[in-house]
A and B are shown apart, each in its own frame.
Chain A
Amino acid sequence: SQELEQSPQSLIVQEGKNLTINCTSSKTLYGLYWYKQKYGEGLIFLMMLQKGGEEKSHEKITAKLDEKKQQSSLHITASQPSHAGIYLCGAFSNFGNEKLTFGTGTRLTIIP
């Protein structure tokens, strides 16, 4: 079965600094999704990447997909307190398989 490993597991960043979160898959990626979760709450959709080399940005968050490395990265520029939370990557293990597998998440804390 597919496994997604996220690194780091937790991150403490000073407000205004940049940061990167990585997600590595044990198998070929057929779509990679990034979600954000506030503690104990539902998941908020951030971005979906489907093609190798694809890069998407939304406000200060940029995500890239490296199909060959079976890896995706999420980069936040000039972090703000509103960026704090748990970031989860999710992926489908097979084309046509609707089962979404998630990583264990990266807990991001922003300090003043």
Chain B
Amino acid sequence: DAGVTQSPTHLIKTRGQQVTLRCSPKSGHDTVSWYQQALGQGPQFIFQYYEEEERQRGNFPDRFSGHQFPNYSSELNVNALLLGDSALYLCASSPFYGLNYGYTFGSGTRLTVV
């Protein structure tokens, strides 16, 4: 049973560019959350998607946007990249109402902005 799959694993972008990160949730999971983890820090919640809609959002600017597809997979888009966007981006999936079930995390996408 495949867990959460993220692509690409590593990415280097230039300041000002746009990037799209992808996530396939674990089989049976329909809720996808995205987190940003800066070096030496804990993951920070970006947003969560359920039924193709954004349910909750953390303290991230509008440059960060997302999408969820009918097959529950998800994309994270970041526009006008800043050097400070360099981080490990983690995708987590769960059944609806993850509080009772916990979250399964992917291995992440390492984004470097130069």
Stretch of A12-20, A58-66, A71-79, A93-101 with 4 or more beta carbons under 8 angstroms from chain B: A93-101
B106: CB under 8 A from chain A?
yes
Decide: A104 near B41, CB < 8 A? Known: A31-B99, A43-B90: yes
Q: How far in angstroms is the closest Cβ of chain A from B92?
A: 8
B74: CB under 8 A from chain A?
no
Residues from chain A with Cβ under 8 Å of B48 in the complex: 98-99
A42/B106 in contact, CB under 8 A: yes
Q: How far in angstroms is the closest Cβ of chain A from B55?
A: 7
Q: Which of A72-112 contact B (CB under 8 A)?
A: 88, 90, 92, 95-105
B42/A30 in contact, CB under 8 A: no
Decide: A98 near B105, CB < 8 A? Known: A43-B43, A104-B41: no
Residues from chain B with Cβ under 8 Å of A21 in the complex: none
A43/B105 in contact, CB under 8 A: yes
Residue ID in chain B nearest A35 by CB atoms: B105
Q: How far in angstroms is the closest Cβ of chain A from B69?
A: 19
A104/B45 in contact, CB under 8 A: no
B22: CB under 8 A from chain A?
no
Q: How far in angstroms is the closest Cβ of chain B from A51?
A: 12
Residues from chain A with Cβ under 8 Å of B8 in the complex: none
Residues from chain A with Cβ under 8 Å of B45 in the complex: 99-101
Residues from chain A with Cβ under 8 Å of B43 in the complex: 43, 88, 90, 100, 102
Residues from chain B with Cβ under 8 Å of A35 in the complex: 105
Residues from chain B with Cβ under 8 Å of A4 in the complex: 42
Q: How far in angstroms is the closest Cβ of chain A from B67?
A: 18
Residues from chain B with Cβ under 8 Å of A48 in the complex: 102
Mask, B80-106, CB within 8 Å of A = 1, is 000000001010100001111011111
A-B pairs with lowest CB-CB distance, top 3:
A102-B42, A42-B107, A43-B105
Query: Which residues of A pack against B, CB within 8 Å?
Result: 4, 30-31, 33, 35, 40-45, 48, 50, 88, 90, 92, 95-105
List 9 other contacts, CB 8 Å, given A41-B107, A98-B98, A101-B45. Answer: A33-B103, A35-B105, A88-B42, A95-B99, A98-B33, A100-B35, A100-B92, A102-B43, A104-B41
